Chains A and B, each alone.
Chain A
Amino acid sequence: MEPDTSISIWFFIGISLLVNGVLILGAGLYQLVHPPPPAQQVVLYQLHANVWWGAVLLLIGVIYSVKFSPSRTRLES
């Protein structure tokens, strides 16, 4: 029987979350180091939503990309 060479959809979702997480966390950390002038700050800037949400996306992205990575799923099957 041919080995299953298909790649799980969750792997691509993990990669998408990972890339978004890197970009959003990166933008948040940059703003943390170089805060924009008060006139350009979003409401509730002091909560740094993009740092938190970026970190959450990054974490979920890493978990999904690793758990459903093609090499790992092939090994399991």
Chain B
Amino acid sequence: MAPIIGAAFKMFVPFIVILPGLLALALLPIKLTGEAAAVASGGHSYNEVLPLMLARYCGPGLLGLGITALIAGFMSGMAGNVSAFSTVWTYDIYAALIKKDASDSHYVSMGRWSTVLGVAVSIGTAYLVMQFLSIMDYVQALFSFFIAPLFGTVILGMLWKRATAAGGFWGLLAGTVSSVGMWAWVKIDPTALRYVALSPNARDMAENMYRALWSWIVCVVVTVVVSLLTKPKPVSELTGLVYGATDIPSEDNVPLYHRPAFWAAVVVVIFAVLNVIFW
């Protein structure tokens, strides 16, 4: 059920990201520009919409709460990502592949140092973001690098019993590398846009969308091919992990509004309607 609740909230993200900007466009007396133009002219960029709107409408007390909420949002996102970085590095890579027989205190200390390194890397990425027109462009580019191929890996891993670990690894790697490669290709040679986004006049968002689509296809194709060429895992090891190898509990006595399939259908219908409206 959790992924379905997550999917419902995920559909709000475009509204949360875009609505304040549209409101600011209609309500703010100043003209917002891109980051580079704002730095050059001393004006405000559209990345500053939320603080500008808060300062305009919220008096003492509410302004503090709004700023606190913004900072809390940044901090929780940062804390979640940094702790995930530290855990994945320490447990899944360092302890699993590099140093298998160290003491707990060694792994704790490695976790702490990787947290410090993770924070330093994330500060470094802030300078990378400055190259992009807006945070939205940056986020979409990152999504096309990592989330789109990861979606291919996850969906195949969940639904296809024949998928293997090697297939998943090489598929994800190929999808991510091809996505970053397409991004770099267009940066070096802007005429490549007509191949990546199927149009020489494509805007950044269209390019991000097509890049995500190609990287997903590359990931799925490579995963399928490598999986077919490698030794499959026995079905007994896949129980509870893959759809076809897991016993699904009967839902005969469960009311409709408690069934995940019902809510999944609701989410799919809303998703389709939103896409038709905002196409």
Would B57 and A50 count as touching, CB distance under 8 A?
A: no
Interface size class of B (residues with CB under 8 A): 10 to 19
List which A39-77 residues lie within 8 A (CB) of chain B: 41-45, 49-50, 53-54
Would A27 and B60 count as touching, CB distance under 8 A?
A: yes
Would A31 and B65 count as touching, CB distance under 8 A?
A: no
A22 to chain B, nearest CB (A): 10
Determine if A28 is an interface residue (Cβ-Cβ < 8 Å): yes
Determine if A13 is an interface residue (Cβ-Cβ < 8 Å): no
Would B57 and A26 count as touching, CB distance under 8 A?
A: no
Determine if A15 is an interface residue (Cβ-Cβ < 8 Å): no
Determine if A24 is an interface residue (Cβ-Cβ < 8 Å): yes
Contact of A23 among B55, B57, B59, B61 (CB under 8 A): B61
Would B56 and A50 count as touching, CB distance under 8 A?
A: no
| A31 surroundings in chain B (CB, below 8 A) | 59-60
A-B contact count (CB 8 A): 38
- What CA separation (Å) do A50 and B64 show in the bound complex? 11
Contact of B60 among A20, A43, A50 (CB under 8 A): A50
- What CA separation (Å) do A42 and B66 show in the bound complex? 14
Contact of B61 among A43, A44, A54 (CB under 8 A): A54
Would B65 and A24 count as touching, CB distance under 8 A?
A: yes
Would B58 and A42 count as touching, CB distance under 8 A?
A: yes
* Chain A interface main SS type: helix
**Which of A28, A31, A43, A44 is most buried by chain B, counting CB atoms within 10 A of its CB?**
A43
Determine if B62 is an interface residue (Cβ-Cβ < 8 Å): yes
Contact flag A43-B56 (CB < 8 Å), given A20-B65, A24-B65: yes
- What CA separation (Å) do A71 and B58 show in the bound complex? 37
List which B37-92 residues lie within 8 A (CB) of chain A: 55-62, 64-65
- What CA separation (Å) do A63 and B62 show in the bound complex? 21
Would B58 and A49 count as touching, CB distance under 8 A?
A: yes
Residue positions of B touching A, CB distance < 8 A: 55-62, 64-65
For the A-B complex with A42-B57, A42-B59 known, give 19 more contacts whose Cβ atoms are closer than 8 Å. Answer: A23-B61, A25-B61, A26-B61, A27-B59, A27-B60, A27-B61, A31-B59, A42-B56, A43-B56, A43-B57, A44-B57, A45-B59, A49-B57, A49-B62, A50-B58, A50-B60, A50-B62, A54-B61, A54-B62
Residue positions of A touching B, CB distance < 8 A: 20, 23-28, 31, 41-45, 49-50, 53-54
Instruction: Pick the 6 closest A-B CB pairs, nearest first.
Output: A27-B61, A24-B61, A27-B60, A50-B62, A50-B61, A42-B59
Can you report 22 A-B residue pairs in the complex whose CB atoms are below 8 A from each other?
A23-B64, A24-B61, A24-B65, A25-B61, A26-B61, A27-B59, A27-B60, A27-B62, A28-B59, A28-B61, A31-B59, A42-B55, A42-B58, A42-B59, A44-B57, A45-B59, A49-B57, A49-B62, A50-B58, A50-B60, A50-B61, A54-B62
